[in-house]
Chains A and B, each alone.
Chain A
Amino acid sequence: MTDAAFVHRGTGRWSFGVLHLSGLALALIIALGFMAPLIAPYDPNAVNLLNRLKPPVWLDGGSWAHPLGTDSIGRDLLTRCLYGVRTSFGIAVFGLIFSAVLGVALGLLSGLGGRWVDRSVMTVTDVFITLPNLLLLLCGITLLGTEIWVLVLMIGLVRWEAYARLVRGQVLTLREQGYVEASRALGSSRMRIALEHILPNLASPLVVILTLSFPGVLLMEAGLSFLGVGVQPPTPSIGRMIGDGRDYLVNAWWVSGVPSIVIATITLLFQLIGDSLRDRIDVRADG
């Protein structure tokens, strides 16, 4: 009987319900976003100057024609939010995949390669960890422009180091495990050990850390767009909508407010899922 068993980790008691509820809610939002062209009531870029700054339906002057109101040039906010979710998720998902592939590959290389490989990869990783992400992003965008592929590429390039560190740390731990030693003693090749024993045991911490870092990636795109250096108009983006609505905060709060609520909801849901996943699987990023 160890005393540590009495120390509760976070939110174990209620995480079952929370995990599943937030998963469902998130799946719904994502599904709506990806079905935007099918279900959105308007064209996202349809300008209607007669209908500028209409409030949402629950406020005075709102109507079901535009349930979440309209922006400064009369575009339907519901439609634009749906499309915006689509854009943001698309960029975040591809950025995350790119960074995860990069990070896992470099982490494996570092953990399983020789000492010099390890040392060089880790030096580069340290430098990337030190540099503020936003600055790298700004440099890349200044150079390459604000095409969507640039955003994906840059997000991938600034996020990989966390995964590389995680994978390397895990590999170094796993490599010392008796079962890896035993497998080596059996005569298994490096490849076999990597595929049979190391990768499968890496999977769950990796899933947790990817889930945990997804909101960060999403917010990276949203933040850049908010600052006006991310997704460019007229492509709908949640961040850009919030940024553009700042000028109307006094008399039409919903232009910024509605997309703000959308992105806050999404990141909160992700955080809930990530937290309860982490409570189940203990993840440490350092080896």
Chain B
Amino acid sequence: MLRFMAIRFGRALITMFMVLVIAFITLRLSGTPFAMMFPEGITDEHQAALEAKYGFDRPIWEQFIVYLGDIASGNFGRSLYTSQPVWMMYAVRMPATLMVGGLALLLAIAIGIPLGAAAALYRGRASTSAGMGLAFLGYAVPHFVIGIGLILFFGYYLALLPATGLETPNHYILPVVTLAIPMIAAIARFMRAAMLDAIGHDYVTTALSKGLTDRRIARIHILRNAMIPLITVLGLEIAGLLNGSIFVEAVFSLPGVGRVLIDAVQGRDYPVLQFGVIAYAAIVVSVNLLVDLAYVVADPRVRLEK
């Protein structure tokens, strides 16, 4: 088990290192920022002086080490446009993203797991078939189409809910639901498949032969075993939340970090983009580690391996 976690941790470190390399290359390949800083052009002398000042004249590996040092000490650079420290640009917008994402995740788990479980246990019932049909829709249609559909229907046609911004609790409803729908669909579909798989296992027949009630078999023998592979899916979904929130924030004009990132891409604001990449990757890598840890706790076959 310790070995298992050590391997996973090592892999996470390698991944983060590769991310830093990619971020560094992106930053360097984009050229020196002087062209951006001095649109009217600068003299060669001036450029050479600046290069020396910022260390651009040193060998590339030395620059990489300096870069790693900067990052380790929390110095991620400043925006080429606003000169704000990049971490601050993200920090002020983080709460909105976290709030919407967190609520969506809770909603997706609360609906997706029971829906998928019910669909596996009560196949052929109209209610569960309808639920899975909707899940199928949610799985196939992208966030931005769902969002626009919801805005049109609840925001304008029924005029029940606010369509943009995050001023009141009501404002959260549409974005959270939009972000949650594809997750609900993915979780429900996976849960259904995992439950069906578990039902087909011999240990369920053994449980049946003990004279257990269907309820107990479902709870103790089917559900518990189906939940273990779900951990992986939840991990993927949490990582996918990052992708989804960019779209949802764009559709609903939310003050989240997604906008910062897209603006950085459009304006080629490399330091800003670079921080986003590193931060996102760090989150995903941590989530993956948590997933592995959860596996270790949940599955004795992993936990007790030497």
A touches B (Cβ under 8 A) = yes
Residues of A near any B CB (own CB < 8 A): 3-4, 6-10, 123, 126-127, 130-136, 138-139, 141-143, 215, 219, 222-223, 226-229, 239, 242-243, 246, 249-250, 253, 256-257, 260, 263-264, 267-268, 270-271, 275
Min Cβ gap A198→B in Å is: 27
CB contacts (< 8 Å) of A228 on chain B: these are 262, 266
A130 touches B196 (CB 8 A): no
CB contacts (< 8 Å) of B218 on chain A: these are none
B262 touches A132 (CB 8 A): no
A132 touches B239 (CB 8 A): yes
Query: How many angstroms from the CA of A242 to the CA of B151 in the assembled complex?
Result: 13
CB contacts (< 8 Å) of B26 on chain A: these are 139, 142-143
Segment at the interface with A among B37-45, B66-74, B96-104, B245-253: B245-253
Min Cβ gap A228→B in Å is: 6
Question: Number of B interface residues, CB 8 Å?
Answer: 56
**Known A229-B262, A229-B265: A130·B144 in contact at CB below 8 Å:** no
Query: How many angstroms from the CA of A256 to the CA of B152 in the assembled complex?
Result: 10
B243 touches A134 (CB 8 A): yes
CB contacts (< 8 Å) of B270 on chain A: these are 142
A132 touches B284 (CB 8 A): yes
- Give B285's nearest chain A residue, CB to CB: A130
CB contacts (< 8 Å) of A226 on chain B: these are 144, 247, 250
Query: How many angstroms from the CA of A114 to the CA of B72 in the assembled complex?
Result: 37
CB contacts (< 8 Å) of A223 on chain B: these are 142, 144, 247
Q: A132-B240, A264-B145, A271-B136 are in contact. List 11 more A-B contacts (CB 8 A).
A: A4-B200, A6-B200, A8-B196, A138-B276, A143-B26, A143-B29, A242-B148, A243-B250, A260-B144, A264-B142, A267-B142
Min Cβ gap B184→A in Å is: 16
B14 touches A7 (CB 8 A): no
- Give B288's nearest chain A residue, CB to CB: A130
Query: How many angstroms from the CA of A9 to the CA of B196 in the assembled complex?
Result: 8
CB contacts (< 8 Å) of A123 on chain B: these are 11, 14
- Give B29's nearest chain A residue, CB to CB: A143
A268 touches B14 (CB 8 A): no
Query: How many angstroms from the CA of A226 to the CA of B148 in the assembled complex?
Result: 12
Min Cβ gap A283→B in Å is: 12
A267 touches B144 (CB 8 A): no
Taken residue by residue from 184 to 199, chain B's Cβ proximity to chain A (1 for < 8 Å, 0 otherwise) reads as 0000000001001101
